[in-house]
Structure 1
Amino acid sequence: MKEIVLTFGALYGGLAVIFGAFGAHALKKRMSEDLLKSFETGVKYQMYHALALLLAGLLLPFENTMQNAVGWCFIIGIFLFSFSIYGLCITTMNGNKWRFLGPVTPLGGLLLVAGWLLLMLSV
């Protein structure tokens, strides 16, 4: 599990840099200020939690179910939270908002919160 957590931490961190640059350069001229702000929120939360994954991967032994759940909550939570925001922003910008992504964002946020709570309980 440790290798999975570290791999996703590095992957999500790298993608956060790419998406941040994409938003700042390619989308800045095409998105409204509100949409760009939402996109940036997705990038920030992705980076924060990528760093949390890396730290958890370095500090936790992942020897029990709770510690494994920390990793999965962050991995899945990042994907659902940030990537649903990206999808909502880009599809809204193109005039065809994918409304089904709306409920996905808070579910991802709930998993991120659960990851932090499980992390607190596991240390």
Structure 2
Amino acid sequence: MNKFILATGGILCALAVMLGAFAAHGLKSHISPSMITVFQTGVDYQFIHGLALILFGILSHLGYRLKWASIFAILGVVFFSGSLYLLATTGSKIFGPITPIGGVCFIVSWLIFTISVVKHQSVQTK
């Protein structure tokens, strides 16, 4: 699972760079500046949570149990960023109500992370 979490984080970050470049160069002439901003918000959150997955994967190697935090971060990217990408590129408002579901997933992910860190019992050597 740790390798999957790390790899997923890396892929999400790479895709965020590609999507950010696509928005800046490919979409600029096709959608409004406000929709570019919406798209870029999706990219920003995807990048942050890709990095979070890398953090979660590294901490998992140290014994932290972050499987569910990782799952919720991935779901957050799919629902939050994905809905913003679709909203910006299609103009269809039907995707708007999906975005908060992703936001809740992000919040749950960070709360699970926090609880995991607080409850973690580290082995101390003398």
TM-score (norm 1): 0.88
- Check whether the contact 1:87–1:98 (CA below 8 A) recurs between aligned residues: no
1:82 aligns to 2:67 (yes or no): no
- 2:72 maps to amino acid: C
Q: Aligned letter for 1:106?
A: P
The total of aligned residue pairs comes to 117
Displacement after TM superposition at 1:60 (Å)? 2.1
Aligned to 2:27: 27
The residue identity in structure 1 corresponding to 2:33 is: E
SS of corresponding position for 2:66: helix
TM-score, structure 2 as length reference: 0.86
Two-structure CA RMSD over aligned residues (Å): 1.6
* Structure 2 unaligned residues grouped into runs of 5+: 118-126
Question: Is 1:43 matched up with 2:37?
Answer: no
Moved over 4 A (4+): none
Task: Specify the code of the residue in structure 2 equivalent to 1:76.
Answer: L
1:119 aligns with 2:108: no
CA distance in 1, matches of 2:109, 2:61: 16
Residue-by-residue CA offset, 1:27-83 (whole Å, 9 max, x unaligned): 11111111011100000000011001001101124968x621101000111111101
Aligned twin of 1:7? 7
The question of whether the paired residues in 2 share the 8 Å contact of 1:5 and 1:75 is answered with no
- Give the Cα separation in 2 of the matches to 1:59 and 1:26: 37
Is structure 2 residue 102 aligned with structure 1 residue 103? no
Conserved in 2, the CA contact under 8 Å of 1:67 and 1:122?
yes
